[in-house]
Amino acid sequence: MPSVLNRLTAFLLAALLSPLGGACLRAEEPKPGVAPLVDGPYVLWEGREARVLAVRDGKAQASKLQPPYDLDLPGLGPLRLDPAPPPPALADFPIPLRIAAVSDIHGNLPGLVALLQAHGVINERRDWSFGQGHLVVVGDVFDRGSQVTGVFWLLRHLEAQAQSAGGRVHMLLGNHELHALRGDVRYLHPSYLRLQKELLGLDQKTLYGPTSEQGRWLRTRPVLLRIGPFLFTHGGPSPELLDQEKNLEAFNAAFRSIIDTGSPSPLGGRASPVWYRGLIPGKEATRPDATDGEVERMLEAFRVRIMVVGHSTLKQGIAAFHGGRVHGIDADLMSGGPGELWLFQKGACFRGRSDGSTLPLQVAGPLP
């Protein structure tokens, strides 16, 4: 019994004495309805100045961000921001040697970090170690989990480092990004609801509005991304919108234009790439699944071989459908589990497990 008590005492002391400086990126999952100790930073631009809001030890803090606009990210280091809004993100790239993709993170920062570290995308310091490879996040960072802010700043940190190394980080919009940018908090974790209302005194629509750093960055993200023979999108191209969707740049621009209008549009409806589920058999509740013929038409329209989609949770892990023409990669990070990472390397596609192992994925014919 004494040894058990000693171990318990040592564990409690370690927990109490652990540094809180990087907790916004490493915090334990809070209980529902209990505000986390820390959150942020949130950056609200006012011309060429910015107001920085954060929560530390349960108290709101505010400061000004001055030139050269280096924002301190606890646990990650400084990130240089630009007072000028970012341009629309590019959405068409030649194939690199390596690609990693993950979907539907939903605030599960520990699961994301473990996957990226297990497969050499980041190192133990959470710095980019994927060289000229590409990392694709196929939407739905927002909602459900309690570490959404930490996931976003990690992606921004990696985006800057990857670009310096000749690689890329791509963040695609999902339906939960659309919810958040429009101020819809139905699926927001209870801790964020309390934090916004009681500590910051600002709502979701303001914290991710067009003049916030994260809000304006998200408004430049695509919903369709082509990398070599792969098309990445959150839900998937739909037969109904195929004629509109096949021009990537035009469709992405059209989608960005409806984010803040609030008016009904087919681009944001159930046939939209952020909502459609018909590429994964049995997941579309309101319309028939896409047929093999429709999938083939989509591949031809986008000049790709494989579509990589999230949105529809696959509790058994990443899987191939339609003869390897569609890869579903929402491997249930949403539930707080380990999830899986989709990988392209050495001309083949794989399921990347949380222990660093890989399993081959069926593909439609040979890849570059």
As a whole number, the mean pLDDT across the chain is: 88
pLDDT at 30: 41
> How far apart are the C-alpha atoms of 301 and 250, rounded to whole Å?
14
Question: What is the pLDDT at residue 26?
Answer: 34
Average pLDDT over residues 125-131: 98
3 has a pLDDT exceeding 50? no
pLDDT for the residue 57? 84
CA angle centred on 157, ends 152 and 162, rounded to 5°: 120
Element (H, E) at 194: helix 190-194
Report domain extents, the chain: 92-360
Q: pLDDT tens digits for 155-192?
A: 999 999 999 999 999 999 999 999 999 999 999 998 88
Using one digit for the tens of pLDDT, what is the confidence trace for 227-258?
A: 999 999 999 999 988 887 778 999 999 999 99
Give the model's pLDDT for residue 2: 40
Write phi, then psi, for 320 (nearest 5 degrees).
-105, 145
Residue 366, Cα to own-chain centre: how many angstroms?
29
Which residue, chain included where needed, has tokens 């171990």? 7
- Whether residue 33 is predicted with pLDDT greater than 80 in this model: the reply is no
Cβ 110 vs Cβ 150: under 8 Å? no
pLDDT tens string 341-358 = 999 999 999 999 999 999
Please check whether residue 350 is in contact with residue 317, taking contact to mean a CB–CB distance below 8 angstroms.
no
* pTM for the whole structure: 0.89
Q: Would you say domain 92-360 falls under CATH 3.60.21.10? A: yes
- With b for 16 or more beta-carbon neighbours within 10 A and e for fewer, the 107-143 pattern comes to bbbbbbbbbbbbbebbeeebebbbeebbbbbbbbbbb
Query: What pLDDT is recorded for position 263?
Result: 67
Supply the pLDDT for residue 285.
81
* Mean pLDDT in residue range 29-45: 67
Question: Would you say residue 222 has pLDDT above 50?
Answer: yes
Q: Give 191 or 63, the one with higher predicted confidence.
A: 63
